[in-house]
Structure 1
Amino acid sequence: MEKTDAVAALAALAQDNRLDVFRLLVQAGPDGMPAGAIAEALDLAPNTLTFHFDRLRTAGLVTVRRDGRSMIYAAQFETMNDLLGFLTENCCGGAPCAPAAACKPARKRAKMPA
């Protein structure tokens, strides 16, 4: 992946609604989801989604296909993997990285009563 492509992909993902859309499409898998189902799942107006879909498509992060009257959007996994590869290309300065099992997600802190 070229640096300009990485910047375009990161810029497209640097907005909370677009990031939510992309993450939902990654969860949906290669079959994707209809635009209406995405709007409903994320409680977003369809006209707002059109703008976000266009930004994600332009960055190569999603594809769209027509199925009857529905527009089906799907994550472009090859681009996602290329971006991850670009970001981690020189990970750990050439030393073997810690195994994934050693990395644990951060725990959410419980709110303290007021």
Structure 2
Amino acid sequence: PRRAHLVRCRAGDAVLWDSRTVHCNTPPLLGSASHHATSVATSLSGEGAPGAEEAQLSAEKTRPRRVVAYAALAPRSRASARVLSARRRGAAQGMTCTHWPFELSCIDMPAA
């Protein structure tokens, strides 16, 4: 077996892979986000100025650590009208489904 490989990305990067290979997600790495929040707080309030700590906490709470959109593509003909309709309802309700666009497997199934 091969060792896992962590793919580090910067803002705006795109990662493409063959989804038939084993893959998984990991929690965001906090180092860069914490460093960024500290830099923002220092530039907003000045080094050691009153409010610097509050600005840092605010920046850490409001700045998203990661925003990702996963896209899986397949021929539309592989999904039935029922599956497409249910997936649309699930997406509108903020549900999470599998990568396979022609199957209906959501964490919380939408009502029919």
Q: What interval of TM-score do these two structures reach, taking the shorter chain for normalisation?
A: under 0.3
- After TM superposition, the score normalised by the length of structure 1 is 0.25
Question: With CA pairs under 8 Å and 6+ residues apart, which has the higher RCO, 1 or 2?
Answer: 1
Larger fraction in strand: 1
Larger fraction in helix: 1
